[in-house]
């Protein structure tokens, strides 16, 4: 119950929150705070990278849409399944799995979630695909997909402001709008990343990540 209260407080303070805006593993000893606010709800995650292949953290998501207003919180393990470091690009496959509890209409049930994220990026292009499964015992369950493709309008170096123009397509059969398309812009500079967009179902999107 204490973890629930903490999650609620964090979400309230941060005005809401993500899943996998960027890579769910940073560097050994690094902490990453990610927040995503979009048409699916608000997500917050805080991850600490323990080894090059594992990060542990805390995940909280407030689902929105229709009559649903469910809060899910719990610890999460992020695993780098495979990485390809190439001369001009990098490809990754990650798994994100957690267990916790979900609360809907005053009822709390155990819940579990897992997801796979595959991405490939160069300095010019970015592509990713994410599959996410969630189950809250006798309360809610879903399978969702997300694909992203983006291009950098200019090649920025390490100390420059980096920009990507992206298109995000979400498939969530459990919601009123099954397919949602969101054009967005991503900016990042050193350890800070921000994204803003507007979806085809008329919802504003704002995500941010801080790495320290």
Partner 1 sequence: MRKLLMTAMLLIAMTSAAQAETIIASVNGLVCAFCATSIEKTFKKQPAVDQVKVDLDTKLVTISTKDGQTIDDKTITSLITDAGYSVTNIKRQK
Q: Which residues bind partner 1 (CB under 8 A)?
A: 22-23, 25-30, 51-52, 83-90, 121-123, 155-160, 162, 188-191, 193, 209, 211
Summarize the chain as % helix, strand, coil (round to 5).
Answer: 5, 65, 30
**Rounded to the nearest whole angstrom, what is the least distance from the CB of residue 189 to partner 1 in the complex?**
8
Cβ distance to partner 1 smaller for residue 105 or 159: 159
Residue carrying the six token digits 């920025």: 156
Spatial CB neighbours of 148, under 8 Å, sequence gap ≥ 6: 126, 127, 128, 129, 166, 167, 168, 169
Cα(175)–Cα(203) distance, integer angstroms:
14
Cβ distance to partner 1 smaller for residue 27 or 107: 27
The encoded tokens of residue 39 equal 């048409």
Cβ distance to partner 1 smaller for residue 40 or 45: 45
**Rounded to the nearest whole angstrom, what is the least distance from the CB of residue 80 to partner 1 in the complex?**
8
**Rounded to the nearest whole angstrom, what is the least distance from the CB of residue 167 to partner 1 in the complex?**
19
**Rounded to the nearest whole angstrom, what is the least distance from the CB of residue 89 to partner 1 in the complex?**
6
Cβ distance to partner 1 smaller for residue 83 or 109: 83
CB 185 within 8 A of CB 165: yes
């Amino acid at each position: 119950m204490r973890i629930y209260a903490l999650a609620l407080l964090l979400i309230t303070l941060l005005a809401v929150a993500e899943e996998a805006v960027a890579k769910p593993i940073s560097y050994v000893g690094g902490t990453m705070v990610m927040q995503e606010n979009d048409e699916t709800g608000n997500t917050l995650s805080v991850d600490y990278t323990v080894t090059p292949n594992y990060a542990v953290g805390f995940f909280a998501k407030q689902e929105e849409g229709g009559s649903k207003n469910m809060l899910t919180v719990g610890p999460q393990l992020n695993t780098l399944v495979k990485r390809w470091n190439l001369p001009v690009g990098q490809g990754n496959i990650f798994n994100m799995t957690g267990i916790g509890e979900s609360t809907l209409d005053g009822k709390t049930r155990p819940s579990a979630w897992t997801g796979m994220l595959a991405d490939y990026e160069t300095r010019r292009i970015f592509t990713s695909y994410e599959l996410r499964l969630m189950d809250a015992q006798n309360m809610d369950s879903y399978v969702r997909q997300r694909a992203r493709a983006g291009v950098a309008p200019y090649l920025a170096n390490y100390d420059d402001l980096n920009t990507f123009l992206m298109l995000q397509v979400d498939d969530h059969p459990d919601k009123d709008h099954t397919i949602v398309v969101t054009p967005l812009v991503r900016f990042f500079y050193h350890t800070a990343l921000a994204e803003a967009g507007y979806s085809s179902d008329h919802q504003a999107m704002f995500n941010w990540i801080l790495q320290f």
